[in-house]
Structure 1
Amino acid sequence: MRGSKVLSIVLSLALALTLLPFGAFHASAANASVSLVGSQKVYTDEKTTSESITVYFKLDPANVAKSSAFLSLVDDNGKKFKFTAAKDPNYTANPPVSLNVYESSGGERTTWVLQVEPDTGKKNEFQLVITPEAGQDGVGTLYLRIDPASRNDEFSYTELKVAQFSSRDPQITVIDKDRSISDEGGTVRFQLSEEVPYVFDSNKTITLTLPDGFAWGSADVAAIVSGEIAKTDIDIKTNNKDLNIKVTPKYTASNPQRIIFEVEAGVNVVKSSTARKGEIRVAVSNAEPRTIIIGKYGDYEVTVTSEPGEIWAGRKVETGEIAGKIVLEEYLAGSLVEGRTIKLTLPVGAEWPENPNDAFDYDKGSNKAKLRWAGYERLDGKNRVAKFAVDRKSTSSGKTVIEVKQVFTEAKFPEGPLTVEVTGSGVPSTKVTLANVKHIVSVASENKTGAVIGAQDQPLGNIVIKETVAGALRGGKSIIINAGDFITQFTAVDPVVEVRSGDIELGNARLEDASYWNLDKYYELGTSNRNIVIEVRRASNEPSEIVIKGVRATIDRTAPEGEIPVKVAGSAVVDSDEPSKVLRDNGSDDFDYKYIEVSPVRVVTPADKSKDYRAKFTIDQTSYSVNGETKTMDVAPYIKDNRTFVPVKYVAEALGVKDTDIIWNPYAKSVTIFKGDRVIQMKIGSKTLLVNGSAIEMDTAPEIKNARTMLPIAWVAKALNVEYKWVDDERSVEFYNTAQ
């Protein structure tokens, strides 16, 4: 058992030794040393040259009668370089050393073998000449790698620095390019450095040339960051627009250090009419880059810009999101004067939160100037003006940002930019877009009807609510359709609610008194059936569209002619925890998100039934007569397929219909006419005529001529509920609307 253990240990040790690199086998008494003769080479443009490198070897004393090593040139990336190696013919060894150098990389010339047969027991010295092939790209340092051929050789594994790869010129960097230069002048500080030693050249002068209108002031070395040079080794002279820097470099051959130093120089504005405002670009020679920006020249001024986000009308900005940013950028340091006030004013329909900490983040560490909160100014009873004061002016030019975390907008706020007006002392009055407002739901009407003032139980068009995104209408909340300002009450017993698309789940529509929700503004509390309420039982997972049909109402006698809106609100639609807040407009501190308006009905003035209308139209003539008065139109009646086509618009107007009661929809290519208690709808290319919602099938369809809707006389008369007569010998038609 004991013998087995010993054998196991020996085998394990042997295996471990076979895994060690060649360099680990150098003799414990190896006395070979190697050093560079002269200074390291510097390869500008990061390419080798064919300049020879001399390397000194010493074995003191030599212990082995014969030693070998592999020679190669490598850079910091481990790349191997092509070269030749030979005994230095100009070096006389004492005692003489027998050595041989030959290539061993199959003609690639990347690896050479050095064989030495020294005089043992004595000091042996010799030199090799290493000559790289020119034009090889390299990075960082070039090393001569010496790798012993076996563990018995005199040589140790060595990487000797022999050259440096460098760009052609030193590097120049502006330390603070945000420096401000006014008409009083200023200072600039920049750093000059080399990537590797030996780049600075005493035969080259680095020149920095200012643009027209500027001149250099006094300049001096501000600091020596690295290297063996002193300030006296750096000669700096100014000559109007030129700043000249000449360096007398000093390097320690055995361990050269990079030279890095800083220069501070004054910049004067000698001719303001010539000096161009903006970035001051300086031309550079014998250093990289060839152009630098040392600062800005200009007046003390502030520009106002924004970085807008997106918000939903009628909804709060969600936690973790922002509405947008207001950016105050100073051209020169100190443009925002200490103690001055900056105001942010919102338009009507928008308001800042009561707590400024909920609304703004203005104390960012990156801000150039320090701001403090200065309170609100109320406009129309609302927090529409936010005020900030400059608590500490900036020390360098740049940006001061006010981040807006929260802003309130009414549900009916128009889609598009939410504009903030920025004003203040030293700040130009500027309007910028804080956020882009979008509607989370859209509301429209279909089959809009015409109604008569004061009449009861009149039909309204359909109300369509469409979600922009899934879940826009909140589950467990209610949609409220309020009668608005000119509908006395809804009279439909059971309005129908239909989910046209999507997967939202709704309850039935019901009528409720205004006093139930306390929404009424224009009517006494207790007025019945002023609201249609629809419960959202479950929010949608895909954007949904709903339509409310069969709504009837009584129009108030004070209603004006034209569109009569209702108000779509409720906590399912807007950000309101309590329905009682939805339509409130009493100047309270709580923001009123209000509602979205839609007009499903239009009040029309009934045609004057006490007046006769007689209109005459003639084929191929653009003149026509109304009660004997001649008028002109832009299209003439014509005959097609034995049918007489007349322009619907001109016939309707001739029979007492107002121009505003004739509506053309270019998208649907349809025309709607409100004539008394009749609502007439026709569509280009369709043979279906709608009169008060009832369909009538025609034997021909309306068509377009000269941008006018044309229809045969019989169907025009039927639609307008008038009589007509064809006069064959005149090729004319007469329409009659007889007084009643």
Structure 2
Amino acid sequence: MKKLISMVMAAAMVVSLVPATAFADTGSAKAVAKVIDAADVSKDATAETAMDSETTELQLKVDGDGQYAGTTGNAKHELTFTLDGAEFKTVTAEAIAANVTVKKGASTVTTITKDNISEVEKDGFKLTIEARLTDETVIAVNLHNNIKLKSTSVGKKATIAVDGAMVTTDDLTFAEVKDTGIKASVKKVADITEEGISALEKDLKIEANVGKFKKGQVFTLKLSSGFEFNKLNNGTDYVVVDADDYTPATNTNGTYAKGEKEVTIKVTADDNTTDTITIKAADLVISAESAKVGAECKLTVKAVKNGSAGFSDTADAIVVAKVVADAITVSVDEDEDLPVIYSGVNVKNEGITDDSDHEALEVTLEEPTAGTLDAKKELTMELPDGVYVTNVKFGDVDFIEGKDKTVAETVFKAAYKKGDYETFDFARRTLKATDENTDKDGGKLEFTLTLVAEPGFTGDVTLKVDGAGMDKAQEVKIAKFVSPYTVEASQNDLIIDYRNTKVPTNIVVKEAEDGLWKKGSEFKFSLDRNIDTEDDATYTVDDKSDMEVKKIKNDLGFRVDKESGDAATVTISDISLYMSRSLAAGAYDLQLDTTGSDEFMDQAILAPTGVKAEEAKVKYQYYNNDDNFKHVVKEGFVNIITAGRDQDDASFTKKVVVPVGEKYIIAGEEQVALDVPAYISAAGYTMLPVRAVATALGINNNNVLWNQASRTVTILYGQRIITMVAGQKVVTVNGNTIPASATVQIKDGRTFLPMRDLATALGVTDITWDAATKTATMNGNQNK
């Protein structure tokens, strides 16, 4: 599965990198066209000179060679270039040729002269090249030295199109006129507590919409109500200044602008060297002086013209921080995909060919300000049942003594043991509180768990964290488990036979991914409570795969003898059971034991020094050193519906009274309620609902069966198997056919049996009818 996803993603990436260019192959080389360093032009620029300071060019990169006859000779390539929204300043073949090059790497393939240029117009020309253009050769057209724009109105574009045998393009934009101005951005909002302080979560960027900043350009940064600057340091391309005269601010105790709502910075980079001013996240610290929980800190950046330096503009306000409750947060990186791990195998993936690791997403416990985590209270981390931790990796460990990762490992191991390998239980004072004086931004605990899951466990792994000063438990999804196989099986209602009881349905095992089952892997099925299987099942692999399997002697199972290139399906048919007469009626589950699950049983899990080796394995935790890990893949695969031969059913002697039209019957001395009453058929026979039959016979409802497909009622009474088919006037008892007076009838969606024919099948001859009370009685001369 994961391999397929990776291939699809890789293919998608390749497609996404190909420009929107039409290809033609008419015996010449083909090429890919793209514009390099497209220009953003200011509305204040002069159309004649707007492109002079740019580096824009069109590149045609040859894609492949050998598309034409011969290996040493030249080919003739013709290309027509057309401008729109722009013109050539000097409209001559010489001027245009001077701006066209044909190179491969640093080597010139052919020198372009005026003889290569024809059909010259102010907005186009034709280029003819007679040369062998091999793979990676680039034809470059300079679009800045000899280009003027037709207009510098905001929104106007200049484009170039190419037409020829090697490539044909739509209009490719190489210049666009934009309004002067700035925009401000920060990629992530910082959390801050009431009256707390926090640096920005990500860098603040102030970018020019078009062009470069001039040295001396001034910006003011203003915070919304309730927030103040706590610190703003000088940067690489700017300096913090006084608002009145734009002179550098005084450095007081290593910080600038503390206590201010509005500060000013000035560009120190040379003219036209940068279009972005970056303020590092750690250099801009904000305090929430009076803002309450839920309030957002909005930052407004305004460009102020400083004499001849720059321009004036105001960027849209951006949210840089939000006031949150004074509580720990639990998170994972939302940009990372949830890792998919196979269940029922160890971290080495023994039994399957998949070589992926078992690491979950990194989890971060973070406090908004130092001292939030209450080390005097315990902290718990809970995983789903059946999921185990084998290793932990650490990032920041601010809540660990000495911030030492080795100590952190010891602490986690001890906490896992205390949690009986179901939870991490960090006792009081196990973790360390952060110090407000040294950890002003609050502490973090970052860790990555390596996981395994028992066979049959599928779905998301949710880590639940609670305690240590948290308002409520928090949950994060850290991984997803899938099974390396699926098993399809149906319930089978079976009658006990001495041996060779045939199971009428198949077991189908499907491989989850192409080539996933490793050669030598075994799949062994069994039934719980000691129902043995005969050694005569048939194993068939689907035609679409090339997998080969061998049956395992004396087991209901198979071994992979040859791995498949495609996901395989193995069908197990002709299954027979040896069923003892001492088996109780009821459901018996189908269990599976695999090579992978056996190796999983021996997987070492996270445990502190001194814990016995057997106690630190999955085997000890759940199955008390059982040699095999069997898990249920189909509940009630076999449902035994007959009793043993020790039941005496030679005759049926119980008195049964059936008042027609009433929702009850009397069986022996017991009055039993019915969901529907008995009725008299058109032919004058008393018809009993199926429930009444089961009650009258004193057997389980499961022993009166209705098969919709064959429209057959089957009654299992001791050693007697009685069947009646709707529409047929016969009763079959243990294979012997007896004429019947009526047939099975379906009324209001319910199945009814003729009482007289049922009595015949049971060997009862004492049947009476009381017309006055409309009551039918079976065995009326019995005492009960």
TM-score bracket for this pair, using the shorter chain length: 0.5 to 0.7
Structure-2 change in CA distance of 1:332 and 1:206 (3 Å): same
Query: Is the contact made by 1:300 and 1:331 (CA closer than 8 Å) also made in structure 2?
Result: yes
- Cα shift at 1:651: 1.9
Query: Is the contact made by 1:652 and 1:720 (CA closer than 8 Å) also made in structure 2?
Result: no
The aligned amino acid for 1:602 is I
Secondary structure at 2:361's aligned position in 1? strand
Distance 2:262 2:327 in 1: 31
Structure-2 change in CA distance of 1:364 and 1:303 (3 Å): closer
Identify the match of residue 710 of structure 1 among 739, 752, 755.
752
Identify the match of residue 561 of structure 2 among 513, 517, 538.
538
- Cα shift at 1:467: 0.8
For structure 1, which segment, 216-225 or 686-695, has the greater mean C-alpha deviation from structure 2 after superposition? Answer: 686-695
1:515-559 CA deviation, whole Å, 9 max, x = no partner? xxxxxxxxxxxxxxxxx4555363674211213533123255xx7
**Residues 1:550 and 2:576 aligned together:** yes
Larger Rg: 1
Give the unaligned 5+ runs of structure 2.
Answer: 1-38, 58-82, 90-119, 125-147, 159-174, 251-255, 303-312, 350-354, 603-616
For residues 280-679 of structure 1, what are the structure 2 equivalents within 5 Å?
280-282=297-299, 286-294=313-321, 297-303=324-330, 309-316=339-346, 318=349, 319-322=355-358, 324-325=360-361, 327-330=363-366, 332=368, 344-346=381-383, 349-352=386-389, 359-364=390-395, 372-374=408-410, 375=413, 383-385=421-423, 402-409=447-454, 411=455, 413=456, 416=459, 421-422=464-465, 425-426=468-469, 429=473, 434-438=479-483, 440-442=485-487, 444=489, 446-450=491-495, 459=501, 461=503, 464-469=506-511, 476=520, 480=524, 484-485=528-529, 487=530, 490=532, 494-499=534-539, 502=542, 511=554, 532=555, 534-536=557-559, 538=561, 541=564, 542-547=568-573, 549-554=575-580, 562-565=586-589, 567-569=591-593, 571=595, 575=599, 593-596=629-632, 599=636, 600-602=638-640, 612-617=653-658, 621-627=662-668, 631-638=672-679, 642=683, 645-659=687-701, 675-677=717-719
- Cα shift at 1:320: 1.4
1:397-430 CA deviation, whole Å, 9 max, x = no partner? 8986644444141x4x465556655456456655
Query: Is the contact made by 2:196 and 2:369 (CA closer than 8 Å) also made in structure 1?
Result: no
- Cα shift at 1:685: 10
**Residues 1:48 and 2:43 aligned together:** yes
Secondary structure at 1:363's aligned position in 2? strand
Q: For residue 269 of structure 1, what is the aligned residue in structure 2?
A: 288
Secondary structure at 1:653's aligned position in 2? helix
1:591-625 CA deviation, whole Å, 9 max, x = no partner? 85234375524376677869843334455554443
1:67-96 CA deviation, whole Å, 9 max, x = no partner? xxxx997965468867999xxxxxxxxxxx
**Residues 1:225 and 2:237 aligned together:** yes
Query: Is the contact made by 1:197 and 1:251 (CA closer than 8 Å) also made in structure 2?
Result: no
- Cα shift at 1:322: 2.6
**Residues 1:171 and 2:183 aligned together:** yes
Structure-2 change in CA distance of 1:426 and 1:304 (3 Å): farther
Secondary structure at 1:362's aligned position in 2? strand
Distance 1:465 1:608 in 2: 36
Secondary structure at 1:332's aligned position in 2? coil
Query: Is the contact made by 2:591 and 2:632 (CA closer than 8 Å) also made in structure 1?
Result: yes
Identify the match of residue 222 of structure 2 among 182, 185, 208.
208
1:460-505 CA deviation, whole Å, 9 max, x = no partner? 75674321317787764655555644x4x74x8x543023663676
The aligned amino acid for 1:546 is I
Structure-2 change in CA distance of 1:713 and 1:284 (3 Å): farther
Q: For residue 123 of structure 1, what is the aligned residue in structure 2?
A: none
For structure 1, which segment, 547-556 or 610-619, has the greater mean C-alpha deviation from structure 2 after superposition? Answer: 610-619
The aligned amino acid for 2:561 is R
Query: Is the contact made by 2:343 and 2:484 (CA closer than 8 Å) also made in structure 1?
Result: yes
Q: For residue 31 of structure 1, what is the aligned residue in structure 2?
A: none
- Cα shift at 1:173: 4.1
The aligned amino acid for 2:180 is R
TM-score, structure 2 normalization = 0.54
Query: What's the % identity of the aligned pairs?
Result: 15
Distance 2:47 2:416 in 1: 84
Distance 1:536 1:390 in 2: 50
Distance 2:316 2:501 in 1: 78
Structure-2 change in CA distance of 1:662 and 1:441 (3 Å): farther
Query: Is the contact made by 1:169 and 1:200 (CA closer than 8 Å) also made in structure 2?
Result: no
Secondary structure at 1:373's aligned position in 2? helix
1:117-176 CA deviation, whole Å, 9 max, x = no partner? xxxxxxxxxxxxx99745164799xxxxxxxxxxxxxxxxxxxxxx99664323334498
The aligned amino acid for 1:233 is Y
Query: Is the contact made by 1:338 and 1:392 (CA closer than 8 Å) also made in structure 2?
Result: yes
The aligned amino acid for 2:667 is V
Query: Is the contact made by 1:495 and 1:548 (CA closer than 8 Å) also made in structure 2?
Result: no
Query: Is the contact made by 1:236 and 1:244 (CA closer than 8 Å) also made in structure 2?
Result: no
Distance 2:284 2:233 in 1: 9
Distance 1:659 1:165 in 2: 84
Structure-2 change in CA distance of 1:725 and 1:655 (3 Å): same
Distance 1:567 1:84 in 2: 80
Q: For residue 135 of structure 1, what is the aligned residue in structure 2?
A: 153
- Cα shift at 1:648: 0.9
- Cα shift at 1:649: 1.8
Distance 2:758 2:152 in 1: 97
- Cα shift at 1:225: 0.9
CA RMSD of aligned residues (A): 6.4
Structure-2 change in CA distance of 1:635 and 1:608 (3 Å): farther
Structure-2 change in CA distance of 1:618 and 1:677 (3 Å): same
Structure-2 change in CA distance of 1:321 and 1:626 (3 Å): same
Secondary structure at 2:640's aligned position in 1? strand
Secondary structure at 1:320's aligned position in 2? coil
Give the total of aligned pairs: 578
Query: Is the contact made by 2:756 and 2:767 (CA closer than 8 Å) also made in structure 1?
Result: no
- Cα shift at 1:656: 0.7
Structure-2 change in CA distance of 1:561 and 1:312 (3 Å): farther
Distance 1:552 1:236 in 2: 93
Query: Is the contact made by 2:417 and 2:424 (CA closer than 8 Å) also made in structure 1?
Result: no
Q: For residue 90 of structure 1, what is the aligned residue in structure 2?
A: none
TM-score, structure 1 normalization = 0.57
- Cα shift at 1:294: 3.6
Query: Is the contact made by 2:88 and 2:123 (CA closer than 8 Å) also made in structure 1?
Result: no
